[in-house]
Amino acid sequence: MIEEQSLEAQPRYSNRVDMLVAHSSGSFPALRMITVPDGLKVKALTLLAPAGHRQITKMKPYWFTDNLGRLYKFRWAQRLSEKLGYAYLTITRHPLKKNMDNAILAMDAMLYADYDQLARDAETVKKDKLPTLVAISDNDKLIDLSISLDFIPLLGGNADESWYYDAERNLIRKGQDTHVRTLRFAKGSHYVFSRCADVLSYEVLRLLSSVLPREEVTVEPEPTAATDAQANGETQRVRLRLGEKH
């Protein structure tokens, strides 16, 4: 009886979250989780430098990356794989070479991903009009810009109407949103969440404000954050209130 009571007291698993955030190849499991029947129920989605619906050119030559991933799965060959992988990533100017475990596993994820399924999942996001924030970069050394621009319409956005930021993260062109808001950075890199943290922090909380009207959050971005005043060359503090607590 005591054991039954302790089990009942445990919190039940919930498949509902306010927002799901994914980076790079994380877009594959993220979109799968929210589109499968009885999957994760989200109010908003954020994709940072997402892998698109086509194979990236940085994986070429495919025979090498494929065999490198296979070789790495053998413990006795891992050190050799790391050396080969480091040389390959250096030559191709790949941005993940600091952590070879991460790099090779990410390469495997990109190489064997179901790109057709990702496209179908993106179409579901478009059909459901799920509030979505997408951030891409012109100088992303991993994800081809052409793939990123072609992927946005699958989600229901308009790549030609993105909010464009220069190398200093100044807003130089206003965009037009659907249920998708696209931020495009001239120098955001593949790790846009780190390089452009000030702008993205503001934008993520801005999106949350539209799905969590009862919450209250105060945000004070750096002067380089996305504000109309900034576009006019002014500097001001931006405060974002997400409704009122009751």
The better pLDDT of the pair 216, 81 is held by: 81
pTM over 0.75: yes
CATH 3.40.50.1820 domain range(s) in the chain = 13-51+114-199
Q: What confidence tens digit (pLDDT) does each residue in 31-72 have?
A: 999 999 888 999 999 999 999 899 888 778 888 888 988 888
Based on its alpha-carbon atoms, the radius of gyration of the chain, rounded to whole angstroms, reads 20
- Cβ contacts of residue 130 below 8 Å, gap of 6+? 34, 42, 44, 45, 179
User: Do 223 and 163 contact (CB within 8 A), yes or no?
Assistant: no
Which residues lie across from 42 on neighbouring strands?
17
The fold of the 13-51+114-199 domain, in CATH, is: Rossmann fold (3.40.50)
Q: What confidence tens digit (pLDDT) does each residue in 164-189 have?
A: 999 999 999 999 999 999 999 999 99
Q: What confidence tens digit (pLDDT) does each residue in 103-162 have?
A: 788 778 888 889 999 999 999 999 999 999 999 999 998 899 999 999 999 999 999 999
Strand bridging mode 171-173 / 163-165: antiparallel
Query: What are the E-state strand segments in 76-197?
Result: 132-137, 163-165, 171-173, 180-185
